[in-house]
């Protein structure tokens, strides 16, 4: 069967060319759809890994807090340094657990940004985990076991980051967004305080000017 080669005035292409163009467009559409599916699967996988690692890290923080409490409770000799050391462990582990739990309150994120900004970096969190492990290892058998578990958890975090780059990009983006949100909230508070202070100064200046005018008219 023969057909005539017809030129479409709008596109300037032959009918056969239109068919080829339609085939290419369909192939591109299929490829785009497959790429979107793959991206969605990777994002879902990274999100699942992120949730699992957060649960493990929160559990680790709870164990560290338990170590501090255990150290205080079992302090038979009533040494003050043991109490202080245990309180340090409890406070640090609670801060770590609160950060890993992602406290939704802006005041918490701003406090972390001011006082423990290194937690917004995965390297900073890793060093802090190792630091906590070194502290609890000197707290008897329980501290030694939980310290070794903390070191193992740090190694697990490194392995997961190296093996799953999508997960690494996700936690990196999340930390950047948290830090950016904390900075913006701090700037808003500073601007509000500055505006309130300026308004108060203006009120006082106006009051002084009014009092001066009143005294002049009174005299």
Neighbours of 152 (CB within 10 A): 12
Per DSSP, the residues of 109-157 read HHHHHHH-GGGGSHHHHHHHHHHHHHHHTTSHHHHHHHHHHHHHHHHHH
What is the reported pLDDT for 4?
45
Q: Considering only residues 201 and 70, tell me which one the structure prediction assigns the higher pLDDT.
A: 70
Q: Of 22-31, 69-78, 171-180, which gets the smallest average pLDDT?
A: 22-31
Q: pLDDT, tens digit, for every residue of 77-94?
A: 778 888 888 899 999 999
Inter-residue contact 55 to 100 (CB < 8 Å): no
Residue 98 has pLDDT above 90, yes or no: no
Residue 64 CA to chain centroid, in angstroms?
21
Q: What is the mean pLDDT of the chain?
A: 77
Can you give the pTM of this predicted structure?
0.65
Question: What confidence tier does 130 reach under pLDDT thresholds 50, 70, 90?
Answer: very high
Which residue reads 């599916």 in tokens? 37
Q: pLDDT, tens digit, for every residue of 4-54?
A: 444 444 444 444 555 555 666 666 666 666 666 656 666 678 888 888 998
What is the reported pLDDT for 63?
94
Inter-residue contact 111 to 22 (CB < 8 Å): no
Q: pLDDT, tens digit, for every residue of 110-121?
A: 788 778 888 888
Inter-residue contact 71 to 85 (CB < 8 Å): yes
Residue 185 has pLDDT above 80, yes or no: no
Residue 1 has pLDDT above 60, yes or no: no
Q: Considering only residues 157 and 36, tell me which one the structure prediction assigns the higher pLDDT.
A: 157
């Amino acid at each position: 069967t023969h057909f005539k080669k017809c030129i479409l005035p709008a596109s300037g292409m032959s009918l056969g060319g239109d068919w080829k163009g339609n085939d290419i467009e369909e192939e591109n559409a299929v490829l785009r759809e497959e790429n979107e599916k793959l991206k969605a699967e990777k994002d879902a996988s990274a999100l699942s890994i992120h949730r699992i690692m957060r649960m493990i890290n929160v559990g680790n923080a709870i164990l560290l807090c338990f170590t501090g409490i255990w150290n205080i409770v079992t302090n038979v000799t009533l040494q003050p340094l043991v109490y202080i050391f245990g309180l340090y462990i409890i406070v640090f582990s609670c801060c770590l657990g609160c950060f890993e739990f992602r406290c939704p309150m802006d005041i918490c994120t701003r406090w972390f940004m001011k006082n423990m900004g290194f937690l917004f970096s995965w390297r900073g969190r890793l060093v802090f985990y190792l630091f906590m492990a070194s502290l609890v290892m000197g707290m008897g058998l329980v501290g030694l076991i939980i310290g070794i578990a903390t070191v193992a958890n740090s190694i697990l975090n490194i392995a997961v980051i190296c093996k799953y780059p999508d997960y690494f990009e996700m936690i990196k983006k999340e930390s950047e967004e948290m830090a950016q949100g904390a900075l913006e909230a701090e700037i808003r508070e500073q601007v509000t305080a500055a505006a309130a202070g300026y308004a108060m100064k203006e009120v006082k200046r106006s009051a002084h000017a009014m009092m001066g005018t009143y005294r002049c008219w009174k005299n």
